[in-house]
Amino acid sequence: MSETTDTTATTATTGTAIAQAALALGDDALVLSHRLGEWAGNAPVLEEEVALANIALDLLGQARVLLSLVGDEDELAYLREERDFRNIQLVEQPNGDFAHTIARQLYFSTYQRLLYGQLATGDGPLSGLAAKAVKEVAYHQDHAEHWTLRLGDGTTESHTRMQRACDALWRYTGELFQPVEGLDVDHDALQTAWLDSITSVLEQATLTVPSGPRTGAWRAGAGRQGLHTEPFGRMLAEMQHLHRSHPGATW
Amino acid sequence: MQDTQAAQDTATAAAQAAYETVFDAAVAADERIEPRDWMPDAYRASLVRQIAQHAHSEIIGMQPEANWITRAPSLRRKAILMAKVQDEAGHGLYLYSAAETLGTSRDELLDKLHAGRQKYSSIFNYPTLTWADVGAIGWLVDGAAITNQVPLCRCSYGPYARAMVRICKEESFHQRQGYEALLALSRGTEAQHAMAQDAVNRWWWPSLMMFGPPDDESAHSAQSMAWKIKRHSNDELRQRFVDIAVPQAEALGLTLPDPDLRWNEERGHYDFGPIDWAEFWDVLKGNGPCNEQRLDRRRQAHEDGAWVREAAAAYADKHTQQHKHGEARA
């Protein structure tokens, strides 16, 4: 009897923990997708209109699968408030110039590729999703790395801008490796691999690896607990206003 | 000496006439003209003008729809809209490539767009004021574009015709999605239905204007049809579009804002009311609601991106040179 109860309880806890993990990763993808969507019509060349929209679409696809594991995707995206979002602060940072967008993408897609790579080899509930996503993410990382090289090792101006962007976003990268409930990965190993990869790309791009703290705006892990930076609320206001103006409507 | 010159001129004129005969015969036989074929200068210029304008329309046309990406009301609609705007950038790329086969370059064409020396479709000078506008654009604007573009798949210039085949497939898909978005609104709440009706009211007439001026005022039509760049006149295509759209509007449960619209048994077509050509010419001249805004935004994106393009070029230069040195050493 007590054994049965224990098993049920464990299953329930595991389910909730997986939901927590799916929510965290889903929110990351949703928010970054939204930010990339803001580039539409504003990219420096037509090829980048296509590339940025393509990455945004992949991320939105990932977000929809992940959020659907937790509940109704639209309720979760449109009816939660700022304090209920579990994304890391890195992905909510405004686009800034093209270098900022590329630095954010480099940091995030390198993390995502390592993370999904690990998840894909396991047999956890997220392994199927990770196996599909890792292919998309490999392209995102490749794209970000190529632009990091071109901007870092391009002109004096592009070098300065790329360095500034890498420095400015560095503080938000510690949060990537805070343990997430339900996410069965080795975060320390992820962090080591991430630092190696980023160091190698930045050095090849003739850039200096930033040396400042990586604690986030509050403290590392704050975004996962619903503590966000100021631009995020404004982003949600724009994203949610139409949906919220028509309660219960279908689109 | 003068005799030699005169003889040369005669020979050149004869060669020219021979080329023209071959060209005319190819067009008459519905053969495709390819980039390396001889073609009349005016044919080349006319195609550059038309393809460039078409490419520019894809690029400027991203703006009214991108205006709603960040506010799309569901994740599914957001994904559809993002994919559509991405496709439009891709269409722009195909079309600039097609234009480049005629001896111009994308940079040159973009400079002309930014300087206001080449046009884009007047429809994109109208604002997207509600979410329903995104559906109305899909249904009406893409619908009008397809009506215009399907015959271009048989255009006499090969690269343009082939670009149109690829573009029309994707456009038809967008149009269906726009229709479906509008249908969801029409069948939704009262507020959603009203939003859909309002959007159709605002986009109907501008969509009819997409076919260009009436046949008797269309400067390029006759020549384009003789060259088989165009296959049908503006008014023919406009009529075809109206005939298709009216039953679609009925199926949507929405009305079209034209009191004169009615079936004409005798003609076998819908009659429709007069188009406000004063508005059309005014928008074309740059006085539409968004002309300035669209062009400013395009110029701004181009200027903001200059340092990125310079960086890519500098990087490519450096690494091509390094590569060459590497090869020399090896």
With CB atoms and an 8 Å threshold, state whether A249 touches B90.
no
- Which whole-number Å values give the CA distances from A49 to B92, B110, B138, in the listed order? 11, 15, 20
Which residues of B are less than 8 Å from A45 in CB distance?
Answer: 305, 308-309
Query: What pLDDT shows up at residue A123?
Result: 87
**Of A53-57, A177-181, B282-286, where does the model show the most confidence?**
A53-57
CA distance B208 to B274: 10
Mean pLDDT, to the nearest integer, of A180-204? Answer: 94
B222 pLDDT above the threshold of 90? no
Which residues of B are less than 8 Å from A78 in CB distance?
Answer: 73-74
Q: Is the dihedral of CA B137, B143, B148, B149 positive or negative?
A: positive
Give tens-digit pLDDT for B109-124. Answer: 999 999 999 999 999 9
With CB atoms and an 8 Å threshold, state whether B305 touches A49.
no
Query: What pLDDT shows up at residue B15?
Result: 86
Residues 85-104 of B with CB under 8 A from A: 85-86, 89-90, 92-93, 96
* A16: Cα within 13 Å, side-chain hemisphere: 6
- Exposed/middle/buried for B63, CB within 10 Å: 0-12, 13-18, 19+? buried
Is B120 an interface residue toward A (CB < 8 Å)?
A: no
Query: What pLDDT shows up at residue A122?
Result: 86
Q: Which residue of chain B comes nearest to A67, CA vs CA?
A: B75
Grouping H, G, I as helix, E, B as strand and the rest as coil, residue B265 is: coil
Is B83 an interface residue toward A (CB < 8 Å)?
A: yes
Beta pairing partners, B263? B270
CA distance B70 to B260: 38
Query: What pLDDT shows up at residue A11?
Result: 47
Mean pLDDT, to the nearest integer, of B248-266? Answer: 98
Mean predicted lDDT score pLDDT of chain A: 92
Q: Which two tokens stand for residue A251?
A: 């689109």
With CB atoms and an 8 Å threshold, state whether A242 touches B66.
no
Q: Which of A172-181, B91-100, B139-148, B177-186 has the lowest mean pLDDT?
A: A172-181
B18 pLDDT above the threshold of 80? yes
Q: Which residue of chain B comes nearest to A35, CA vs CA?
A: B70
CA distance B168 to B171: 5
Tell me the pLDDT band of B291, cut-offs 50, 70 and 90.
very high
Query: What pLDDT shows up at residue B321?
Result: 77
Q: Which residue in B120, B308, B322, B323 has the most chain A C-beta atoms within 10 A of its own C-beta, making it the best mutation to test that interface?
A: B308
- Exposed/middle/buried for B309, CB within 10 Å: 0-12, 13-18, 19+? middle
Share of residues in chain B with pLDDT > 70 (%) = 97
With CB atoms and an 8 Å threshold, state whether A57 touches B315.
no
Which residues of A are less than 8 Å from B83 in CB distance?
Answer: 53, 57
Beta-carbon contacts below 8 Å between A and B: 144
CA distance A53 to A40: 7
Tell me the pLDDT band of B40, cut-offs 50, 70 and 90.
very high
Q: Which residue of chain B comes nearest to A151, CA vs CA?
A: B311
Grouping H, G, I as helix, E, B as strand and the rest as coil, residue B269 is: strand
B330 pLDDT above the threshold of 60? no
With CB atoms and an 8 Å threshold, state whether B73 touches A242.
yes
Q: What is the pTM assigned to this prediction?
A: 0.93
Q: Which of A92-101, A217-226, B17-26, B214-223 has the lowest mean pLDDT?
A: A217-226
Residue by residue, DSSP assigns B83-100 as HHHHHHHHHHHHHHHHHH
Candidates B59, B188, B315; nearest CB to A250: B188
Is B289 an interface residue toward A (CB < 8 Å)?
A: no
Report which of A64, A80, A81, A71 is spatially closest to residue A29, judged by C-alpha positions: A64
Query: What pLDDT shows up at residue A7?
Result: 43
Give tens-digit pLDDT for B146-189. Answer: 999 999 999 999 999 999 999 999 999 999 999 999 999 999 99
One-letter identity of residue A137: V
ipTM for the whole complex: 0.93
Mean pLDDT, to the nearest integer, of A8-20? Answer: 66
A5 pLDDT above the threshold of 50? no
With CB atoms and an 8 Å threshold, state whether B305 touches A61.
no
Which residues of A are less than 8 Å from B105 in CB distance?
Answer: none
B320 pLDDT above the threshold of 90? no
Mean pLDDT, to the nearest integer, of A166-195? Answer: 93
Query: What pLDDT shows up at residue A27?
Result: 98
Mean predicted lDDT score pLDDT of chain B: 94
Q: Which residue of chain B comes nearest to A68, CA vs CA?
A: B75
Q: How far is A160 from chain B (nearest CA, A)?
A: 11
Backbone angle region of B37, left / alpha / beta, with phi > 0 → left and psi within -120 to 50 → alpha: beta
CA distance A117 to A125: 14
With CB atoms and an 8 Å threshold, state whether B85 touches A53.
yes
Q: Which residue in B67, B193, B307, B322 has the most chain A C-beta atoms within 10 A of its own C-beta, making it the best mutation to test that interface?
A: B307
SS3 of chain A: the string is CHHHHHHHHHHHHHHHHHHHHHHHHHHHHHHHHHHHHCCCCCCCCHHHHHHHHHHHHHHHHHHHHHHHHHCCHHHHHHCCCHHHCCCCHHHHCCCCCHHHHHHHHHHHHHHHHHHHHHHHHCCCCCHHHHHHHHHHHHHHHHHHHHHHHHHHCCCHHHHHHHHHHHHHHHHHHHHHHCCCCCCCCCHHHHHHHHHHHHHHHHHHCCCCCCCCCCCCCCCCCCHHHCCCCHHHHHHHHHHHHHHHHCCCCCC
Query: What pLDDT shows up at residue A220?
Result: 64
Query: What pLDDT shows up at residue A8?
Result: 44
Q: Which residue in A45, A105, A164, A234 has the most chain B C-beta atoms within 10 A of its own C-beta, making it the best mutation to test that interface?
A: A45
One-letter identity of residue B301: A
- Exposed/middle/buried for B158, CB within 10 Å: 0-12, 13-18, 19+? middle
Is B59 an interface residue toward A (CB < 8 Å)?
A: yes
* A213: Cα within 13 Å, side-chain hemisphere: 6
With CB atoms and an 8 Å threshold, state whether B297 touches A41.
yes
B252 pLDDT above the threshold of 80? yes
Q: How far is A17 from chain B (nearest CA, A)?
A: 24
Which residues of B are less than 8 Å from A57 in CB distance?
Answer: 79, 82-83, 86
Query: What pLDDT shows up at residue A9?
Result: 44
Give tens-digit pLDDT for A88-110. Answer: 999 999 999 999 999 999 999 99
CA distance B328 to A2: 78
